[in-house]
Amino acid sequence: MLEVRGLTAGYGPVVVLRGIDLTVGTGEIVAMIGPNGAGKTTTLNAVAGMLPRGGDVLLDGEPLASAAEQVVRRGVALVPQGRKVFPRMSVEENLFMGAYPRGGTWRDFDRRAEPIFSIFPRLAERRAQIAGSLSGGEQQMLVIGRALLSEPKVVMIDELSLGLAPLMVETLLDTIVRFNRELGTACLLVEQAATAALEIAGSAYLLRRGEVVYHGPASRLRQDVDVLHGAYFGTATGTAAAAGRR
Amino acid sequence: MRSWRGLVVFAVLLLVSAACNGSSAQRDALLRLNGVGGAGTGGSAAPDQTGAAVPSDSGVVPSGAPSVGGPGSVGASPAAGAAPSFGTPAAGGRASASGGSRSASSATPGGAPVSGGGGQAPAARPGAAASSAASAASPAPGAAPAQANGNTDVGVTATSIKVGHIGIYSGPVGYVGQNLSLAARATLQSINDSGGVNGRKLDVLVRDDGWDGTKGINAARDLVEREKVFAICCTQSVSTTDPLTAYADQQKVPNVGPDGWGLVQYGGQWSWPLGVPAMSEARVLAKWQVEKQGVKKAALLHLNSPTGQSFRDGYKEVLEKMGGKLEVVQAASFDDPGTTTLLARARAANVDTIAIYADSGIVARLMREAAGQGYKPPKGFAGSTFYYFNVTPELTGPAGEGLISSSHWTPHDQDTPGLRRYREVVTKYYPKIDHTAWTVTSFVGANLFADTLKKLGLNVTRQRLKDALDSTTDYDLGLGTKVSFRPGQHHANTATHLVQLMREGDKLAWKSIGYDDRDATFDK
Amino acid sequence: MSKLLQTVIIGTVTGSLYSLLALGMVLVYRTTGVLNIAHGGIGVMAGFVAWDLVQLRHWPYYAGLLVGVSFAVLVGLAFERFVVRRLPNAGSRTVATLGLFLLAQGVVFVVPWWSNNSAQVFPSPFTGRVVSIPGADFAVSYDQIVLVGTVVLLFLGLQFLLRRTRLGMAMRAVSDDPAASRLMGVREELVAPVVWAMAFGIAGLSVMLIAPINLLENTSIVAFTLKALAVTFVGGLVSLPLTVLGATVLALLEAFTQIYAADIRGLPSAWPFILMVAVLVIRLIRPTKALDEQALAAA
């Protein structure tokens, strides 16, 4: 459904992505992992239209525009790193902004938000609270819920677990599985700490220095520590022994 | 994170508020200037008629940039500058007449450009002064060898006397302030046109202070120290005249006929102010209100400036000496005139009258608001400065009916020989001049200067001029006030003529109420 | 009793005047993070444009009003397009509004048939009509009633705009996090001009409503703006209800001290600063976060 071919991007003269190929199928959960600086966040931002990009990005076979506000209207939502809630708006108002690209109004808000509140009952409890005063986990729920309100086909989540307690990460992963199942929304999950994401993903991509160095079932990465280590430490086909020597 | 932002806001607020206080102090000084505070020739005038106003014409040299080639000397320019000063830009004024440059050309009475030159006047100034002047002055060379050129003192030659004049042509009040300067220049020109002073022409160098005291003093220094003028005459920009008093004493340069609004001016040995202090106006007003109106209880609103406080003190002193009581006193600022609360307090105290020392804007607000509340003290509103502002009736609208104010001279609605002569002289050169109490002060100052010079004969020196001015007794141009100076006693004018806003057709106009008196406190 | 009632009425009217100016500034701060120091100055300039047309050129009052407000709107659009957009952050934009304030003052001074005036009469069609308050020996003018009414409408209108409309929500989102709002499909370059145009238009309208009561005049309206700035502080620069409350409290304090405690010189004019210092102290003592939340919850 979402197809990325030969994606390049960078910041000014600095090239970060050197031709990424990536596919997220309908209703699929895909993990993208890699060490710090591998280009994961850049990939998401480039797809979402927050950065100038080269290469092809297709959604359902149609090219995806390069402006952020058009990307979200086509159904590709990004949950950016760092839990970017609107801090001076309430939970409810944050969610309203999620429905904004779909032409949401307060009149139809309850109808649109109902499935989200059922996935995130804590957001329903705190709907009038100012978003800036939520806990980190709640804020993460809020930004995911907000992205879902734009009725995306694919939601891309950047660093879901960063800075959150393991228990909260578990809860969030559960909700991802849940909306994936209930709403059929595909999910591209980007993580540095790989293990959590690999638990729920079907397939996985491994990025290093702006290139895909591995693509295969997530289960294989989960089981074969060598591949993972190879990606992180620079020996693409490294072995446990090699990793150990380091 | 938020609180620092708050602190920044706080700091900005303090700064801006300081700036505003500054501007308010400035406006108080502005108020003290004649006629300022209102719409000049009137708010209803169409801009294309009023907009062209002065600055570019008339050969005035902005004092900020002392001209290199020489000053724009305006010995004679009024005739040329007359029309443009209130006319259309097309008239152009002298700037365009002299090739668009305000360089060295200085028009003589005959209109011929002469070299402005600095320092001692050249023995032979090409085209300078009409020949009649030279012939009239012909005895001079023979009179004394030291005065072979008639050069009796700084700035004096056989044919001319260099006079400095600082007017307001630019800046926030240039449009209105120019009237005072134009009246002075018209008068000086009329003196030249009728033969000058014992054959010498007055060579008037005009500077513009933009209503800025610093520029004004720079202009004065340029005139005195570089141009070597003999005296400064008829300068009425209070921003300049207050500091000019000290400068004149320091340089021993006669400063004839400044406005006299700032009390400091009366302390100068070399300054002879002609205006009336606010305190004197207040005393006369209070006396009239008790005697003629039967006022017993009064409220007073005054600007919180030294002048405003002196008005308050003078009013309170006389009112209470005569058995009245000042029930409510409230200080006002331009930022916050407090008219609403003054009215509430005055009503609660059930006063007979409300006295005001403020500009036309504030009194208009006060009277409009009172009318809006359906309130008027039984003896109405009275104050001192509103007749200086030609716009007062426009600002107050019908609510202003009955307002009492005062003039230094016979009010303009009168038809006396003195006023007729004033109008004839001034309007000959500047037909559209806006007559106020202060244009008359300019007229008197210029005449006093010339008439006293005439008394000196040909031996014109600064010291002799000072002595002659200090013995001025009952100088009278038929304008309702006689002026007398004594050495060390320069409170020459303390006369106050009361006027009232009365209905005339569908408008309000100032009418004399036939009462005038003087404050004798300063007589010694 | 009548004195008391008079004082309350005076305080309410003056409070509305402060509120009117303060609401416009809160709108800008809340939606852009910029403290718009130019608010009063722009209003006065627009007021003079309208005055010029109505009083000098004899245009119908409402036509002049419309052109005056449109002028302010255009200035707002131009300021956003050529200044705000080129500056990196709210701090530098705030400084730019200070520059704009000085410019606006300069324009009012420079136009020869405006500038020489300390004040101009700018009557509205209602000027001169009053309503007597029974029992107060006091009358309130239609202009004052219109002012109070406008404040109520503006308050409700802004509340509705900022909380219930897509446009208002987008404005707030942009101010909270421009990058995140792009992800929500909001285009800042379309929202920001609306904010500035609206704010400047409100500034112009405010001054035109104040002018019939106060005269059209630079110094005092700018002084009002400063007081308005002080009361916006009460609401943390974001809360509309707290701002209106602060404005009313300030005006009542001023009226009561001026009428009942007139002998305490300087106290009436010290209130804005006392109020600001009090707010600062409260902020230092209490956790500012909690306070802001309260302000926002009320907002």
In chain B, the domains with their CATH numbers are: 51-275+432-491 (3.40.50.2300), 278-407+496-522 (3.40.50.2300)
Residues of C in contact with B31 (CB under 8 A): 118
Per-residue confidence at B185, pLDDT binned at 50, 70, 90?
very high
Phi, psi angle pair for A21, to nearest 5°: -115, 135
| pLDDT value of position A244 | 37
Residues of C in contact with A50 (CB under 8 A): 179, 182-183
| pLDDT value of position C58 | 92
Q: Is residue B449 exposed (0-12), middle (13-18) or buried (19+ Cβ within 10 Å)?
A: buried
Q: Is the pLDDT of residue B126 over 80?
A: no
Cα B7 to Cα C35: distance, rounded to the nearest angstrom: 13
| pLDDT value of position B11 | 56
Q: What percent of chain C has pLDDT over 70?
A: 92
Per-residue confidence at C281, pLDDT binned at 50, 70, 90?
confident
HSE (side-chain half, CA atoms, 13 Å) at C37: 25
β-pairing, B231-233 vs B255-256, is: parallel
Contact C173/A97, CB-based, under 8 Å?
yes
Residues of A in contact with C168 (CB under 8 A): none
Contact C181/A86, CB-based, under 8 Å?
yes
Comparing CB atoms, the residue among A69, A80, A130 nearest residue C180 is A80
Higher pLDDT, C179 or B50: C179
Cα C174 to Cα C160: distance, rounded to the nearest angstrom: 18
Per-residue confidence at B115, pLDDT binned at 50, 70, 90?
very low
* Least Cα separation, residue C149 to chain B (angstroms): 18
pLDDT tens digits, B318-349: 999 999 999 999 888 777 778 888 998 898 88
The answer to whether ipTM exceeds 0.85 is: yes
Cα C285 to Cα B94: distance, rounded to the nearest angstrom: 68
Q: Is the pLDDT of residue B129 over 50?
A: no
Q: Is the pLDDT of residue A71 over 60?
A: yes
3-state secondary structure of C8: helix
- Nearest residue of chain B to residue C107 (CA atoms): B172
Provide the H-helix boundaries in C2-89: 2-32, 39-51, 61-82
Which of B:401-420 have CB within 8 Å of C? none
β-pairing, B255-256 vs B271-272, is: parallel
pLDDT tens digits, A186-202: 999 998 766 778 888 99
- Nearest residue of chain A to residue C238 (CA atoms): A88
- Number of inter-chain CB pairs under 8 A, A vs C: 75
Residues of C in contact with B9 (CB under 8 A): 35, 229, 233, 237
Q: What percent of chain C has pLDDT over 90?
A: 52
Contact with chain C for residue A95, Cβ under 8 A: no
- Nearest residue of chain C to residue B369 (CA atoms): C213
- The secondary structure element, H or E, covering residue A164 is none
pLDDT tens digits, A219-238: 888 877 776 776 666 554 43
Classify residue B462 as left (phi > 0), alpha (psi -120 to 50) or beta: alpha
Which residue, B381, B330, B331, B329, is CA-closest to B360?
Answer: B381
Classify residue A159 as left (phi > 0), alpha (psi -120 to 50) or beta: left
Comparing CB atoms, the residue among B2, B335, B372 nearest residue C292 is B2
Cα C275 to Cα C283: distance, rounded to the nearest angstrom: 12
| pLDDT value of position B207 | 94
How many helices, marked H, and strands, marked E, lie in chain B?
17, 15
Integer CA distances (angstroms), B313 to B299, B304, B317, in order: 13, 12, 6
| pLDDT value of position C239 | 87
- Nearest residue of chain B to residue C90 (CA atoms): B5
Cα B153 to Cα B121: distance, rounded to the nearest angstrom: 11
Q: Residues of chain C whose C-beta is under 8 A from some C-beta in A?
A: 163-164, 166, 169-170, 172-173, 175-177, 179-187, 238, 289, 293, 296-297
pLDDT tens digits, B469-480: 999 999 999 998
Contact with chain C for residue A204, Cβ under 8 A: no
Average of pLDDT values for C203-220? 87
| Chains with at least 3 CB pairs less than 8 angstroms from chain B | C
For the beta carbon of residue C159, count every other beta carbon within 10 angstroms.
15
Contact B3/C116, CB-based, under 8 Å?
no
* Least Cα separation, residue A240 to chain C (angstroms): 42
Higher pLDDT, B385 or C80: C80
Phi, psi angle pair for C165, to nearest 5°: -110, 155
Higher pLDDT, B2 or C74: C74
Q: Is the pLDDT of residue B93 over 50?
A: no
Locate B467 and state its tokens: 């002595």
Q: Is the pLDDT of residue B28 over 60?
A: no
| Chains with at least 3 CB pairs less than 8 angstroms from chain A | C
Classify residue B507 as left (phi > 0), alpha (psi -120 to 50) or beta: beta
For the beta carbon of residue B474, count every other beta carbon within 10 angstroms.
7
pLDDT tens digits, C3-29: 888 889 889 999 999 999 999 999 999
Phi, psi angle pair for C146, to nearest 5°: -60, -40
3-state secondary structure of A14: strand
Higher pLDDT, A110 or B50: A110
Comparing CB atoms, the residue among A98, A106, A150 nearest residue C164 is A106
Task: Find out whether C188 and C63 touch, Cβ atoms under 8 Å.
Answer: no
| pLDDT value of position B48 | 34
Which of B:323-352 have CB within 8 Å of C? 328, 330-331, 333-338, 340-341, 344-345, 347-348
Integer CA distances (angstroms), A220 to A16, A197, A235, A241, B382, in order: 27, 13, 17, 18, 98
Task: Find out whether B186 and B425 touch, Cβ atoms under 8 Å.
Answer: yes
Contact A93/C172, CB-based, under 8 Å?
yes
Cα B489 to Cα B271: distance, rounded to the nearest angstrom: 11
Task: Find out whether B442 and B257 touch, Cβ atoms under 8 Å.
Answer: yes
Which of A157-161, B370-374, C125-129 reaches the highest mean pLDDT?
A157-161
* Least Cα separation, residue C62 to chain A (angstroms): 34
Residues of C in contact with B364 (CB under 8 A): 119, 121, 215
Q: What is the mean pLDDT of chain B?
A: 76
* Least Cα separation, residue B345 to chain C (angstroms): 6
Q: What is the mean pLDDT of chain C?
A: 87
Amino acid code (one letter) for B73: S
* Least Cα separation, residue C239 to chain A (angstroms): 11
Locate B471 and state its tokens: 């013995």
Cα B183 to Cα B437: distance, rounded to the nearest angstrom: 11
Contact C116/B51, CB-based, under 8 Å?
no
Which residue, B256, B310, B314, B288, is CA-closest to B406?
Answer: B288
Provide the H-helix boundaries in B373-488: 392-396, 417-429, 437-455, 462-470
User: Does the model's pTM come out above 0.90?
Assistant: no
| Beta-ladder partners of C29 | none
| pLDDT value of position B12 | 56
Which residue, A3, A5, A80, is CA-closest to A40?
Answer: A80
Which residue, B192, B46, B190, is CA-closest to B130?
Answer: B192
Average of pLDDT values for C183-191? 91
Comparing CB atoms, the residue among A50, A97, A128 nearest residue C184 is A97
Per-residue confidence at B31, pLDDT binned at 50, 70, 90?
low
| 3+ Cβ–Cβ pairs closer than 8 Å linking C and A | yes
Place of tokens 């001076």: A88
Phi, psi angle pair for B466, to nearest 5°: -60, -45
Q: What percent of chain A has pLDDT over 70?
A: 91
> What DSSP designation does B364 have?
H
| pLDDT value of position A15 | 87
Residues 6+ positions from C143 with CB-CB distance below 8 Å = C124, C126, C127, C209, C212, C213
Which of B:6-35 have CB within 8 Å of C? 6-10, 12-13, 16-17, 20, 23-24, 27, 30-31
Integer CA distances (angstroms), B116 to B196, B226, B228, in order: 19, 12, 12
pLDDT tens digits, B148-168: 567 889 999 999 999 999 998
Phi, psi angle pair for B326, to nearest 5°: -90, 100
Residue to substitute from B86, B335, B376, interface C, most C β-carbons within 10 A: B335
Residue to substitute from C160, C174, C184, interface A, most A β-carbons within 10 A: C184
Cα C196 to Cα C190: distance, rounded to the nearest angstrom: 11
Average of pLDDT values for C56-75? 95
Per-residue confidence at B253, pLDDT binned at 50, 70, 90?
very high
Phi, psi angle pair for A171, to nearest 5°: -60, -45
Residues of A in contact with C173 (CB under 8 A): 86, 89, 97, 100
Higher pLDDT, B291 or C285: B291
Least confident range from B24-38, B43-57, C272-286: namely: B43-57
Contact with chain C for residue A224, Cβ under 8 A: no
Residues 6+ positions from B167 with CB-CB distance below 8 Å = B60, B177, B178, B180, B181, B182, B184, B185, B206, B207, B208, B209, B235, B236, B237
| pLDDT value of position C166 | 94
Cα A61 to Cα B320: distance, rounded to the nearest angstrom: 97
Contact with chain C for residue A78, Cβ under 8 A: yes
Residue to substitute from A86, A96, A135, A150, interface C, most C β-carbons within 10 A: A86
Q: Is the pLDDT of residue B139 over 50?
A: no
Task: Say how many residues make up chain B.
Answer: 524
Contact C297/A96, CB-based, under 8 Å?
no
**CA B245 and chain centroid, separation:** 15
